[in-house]
Amino acid sequence: MENKFKVLFIYPNDFFMNMLPPAIALFAALLKNEGHEVDLFDTTYYRVEGGSFQHDKSKEEALHVAPTNMAEKGIFEKKTSPFDDLTIKLESFQPDLIAMSTVEDTFLRGIRLLKHISSFSVPTIIGGVFPTFAPEKAMSYSCVDMVCVGEGESVLIELCKRMKAGKSYYDIPGLWVKTKNGILRNAIKNFHNIDNLPLLDFSIFEEARLYRPMSGSIYRMLPVETHRGCPYRCAYCNSPPQNDLYRNEVGSLYFRKKSINKIYEDICFYRDVWKAEYFYFWADTLLAWTDNEFDEFVEMYANIKIPFHCQTRPETITPYRMKRLKEVGIESLSIGCEHGSEEFRRKVIKRSVSNEQIVNSFDCAYDHQVSTTVNNIVGFPDETRALAFESIELNRKLKVNKMGCVIFTPFHGTYLRDLALERGYIDDAVLSNCFMEESLLNMPQFPVKQISALMHTFLLYSRLDKARWPDIEKVEKNLGSSKVEKLHEELKQEYKDLFFA
């Protein structure tokens, strides 16, 4: 019997970040279809760095979401060493290739894992948004042999095919490879037709990873791809640079839409085979459809009978769309506000929607009994505390079920990272961290500690009565001090009683 080519995926996820990565499930399906064998090492339930940070719990503590307990589903922290367990995995599986999918804030965790197993001398390839926009930095680590720039479907299939056959793979489009003479950099030449992709293979994940908290409950929740990329130009996001990258190298936009027939095929498979209880449509902007495409979607979904969550922009919301989505089972909707100053939002963030339109979009969802979450960011380049309070004042006008506020992160490839570099707010060597951690921008007009303190009190200012503002400000000015710890807990409990009851 012919030996199968073996690929071990490494996913250096945040501790208890219960979002299933569809890319790995897709790559697993693609490689199995080619006759290869795949396995996965996923760090989701390990404290790789130690410490107390727990992704979903940090969102609870910040009042973004209602509390849940994953132990109800038998999901617990793994107490063994992730490094020892990874070694055991390599010894038993004996892969021919190690493939790591990473975003910027998990990259260094992944590097620690790769360094730990470097003695096995297995070739490594890294893919994802961060290596696409910072391939030189990714390749600077000795434990990284190859980087995939852009989409990985064709790259990984061709790489495994050639490695198995013992053929050279140095000329694969989209692949950067280390050689004795330096790095070979192959340009992107094409991308996959997303309607021709196989059904995702979730069997590569342990059962626990199919569950995710949502609105205070825990569901067997699966991700559904409807769009790839986004047509909008938000300066803090890497979707616009992806469009630019593909336009320059391939002559076509990265953004495209799946056909409704393919979406229906995926959904039925997840419902009937994987017993999905809830769907998460992970498009940046689900409602980036024409009116005809939207009607096709809701007509298709009418008989699915499974609740779903999605995210969109205020411009895409109409009474008709909210009515139809409610009829077919939408349970929650995230809408990006990001900032409350129309001028700052237009000039810096590159979002031209008006405050009136933002307020009206939430009113519209509220009128149709669609549960909403508003997304906000503080600590943008050139922002001030006074500007951030314009966001708070706008949030106070919104009819909204849940609020979120995170700290701006200067991801590689984004236009706002370039602005932060131009202003001298960050050094080029800086890698972005989790958006729940401290700001990486050194701005004299909006210091790091002030940004963090406002992020942690943003929701209190936005939703509690203004009579409580003096107490909230006291917490903000002394965040982390024992003298305001009790007051902070009282304010948080008041918030929970009002909005999570």
151-165 pLDDT, tens digit each: 999 999 999 999 999
Say how far apart CA 181 and CA 363 lie, in whole Å: 61
Per-residue pLDDT tens over the stretch 77-107? 999 999 999 999 999 999 999 999 999 999 9
What are the residue ranges spanned by the domains of the chain?
6-185, 215-463, 466-501
Task: Give the model's confidence band at 501: pLDDT under 50 very low, under 70 low, under 90 confident, else very high.
Answer: confident
Across the range 442-446, mean pLDDT stands at: 97
Q: Which CATH class is domain 215-463?
A: alpha beta
Per-residue pLDDT tens over the stretch 380-431? 999 999 999 999 999 999 999 999 999 999 999 999 999 999 999 999 999 9
pLDDT of residue 142 exceeding 90: yes
Mean pLDDT, the chain, integer:
95
Per-residue pLDDT tens over the stretch 272-282? 999 999 999 99
Q: pTM of the full predicted structure? A: 0.95
Task: Give the model's confidence band at 215: pLDDT under 50 very low, under 70 low, under 90 confident, else very high.
Answer: confident
pLDDT of residue 437 exceeding 90: no
Say how far apart CA 412 and CA 81 lie, in whole Å: 31
Say how far apart CA 472 and CA 463 lie, in whole Å: 11
Contact 5, 37 (CB under 8 A): yes
Say how far apart CA 184 and CA 267 lie, in whole Å: 40
State the amino acid at position 117 in one-letter form: I
pLDDT of residue 1 exceeding 60: no
Per-residue pLDDT tens over the stretch 416-429? 999 999 999 999 99
What's the pLDDT at 435?
Answer: 66
pLDDT of residue 460 exceeding 80: yes
Contact 260, 316 (CB under 8 A): no
- CATH architecture of structural domain 6-185: 3-Layer(aba) Sandwich (3.40)
No. of H helices and E strands in the chain?
18, 16
| CA 398 centroid distance within chain | 25
Say how far apart CA 267 and CA 278 lie, in whole Å: 10
Provide the percentage of residues in the chain whose pLDDT is more than 90: 91
Q: Which long-range contacts (CB under 8 A, 24 or more apart) does 425-433 make?
A: 425/381, 431/104, 431/105, 431/107, 431/108, 431/137, 432/104, 432/105, 433/105, 433/409
What's the pLDDT at 164?
Answer: 97
| Interacting residues of 175 by C-beta distance below 8 A, sequence separation 6+ | 125, 146, 147, 148, 149, 155, 159, 169, 186
| Interacting residues of 57 by C-beta distance below 8 A, sequence separation 6+ | 16
Across the range 265-271, mean pLDDT stands at: 97
DSSP-assigned beta bridge partners for residue 42: 11
What's the pLDDT at 404?
Answer: 94
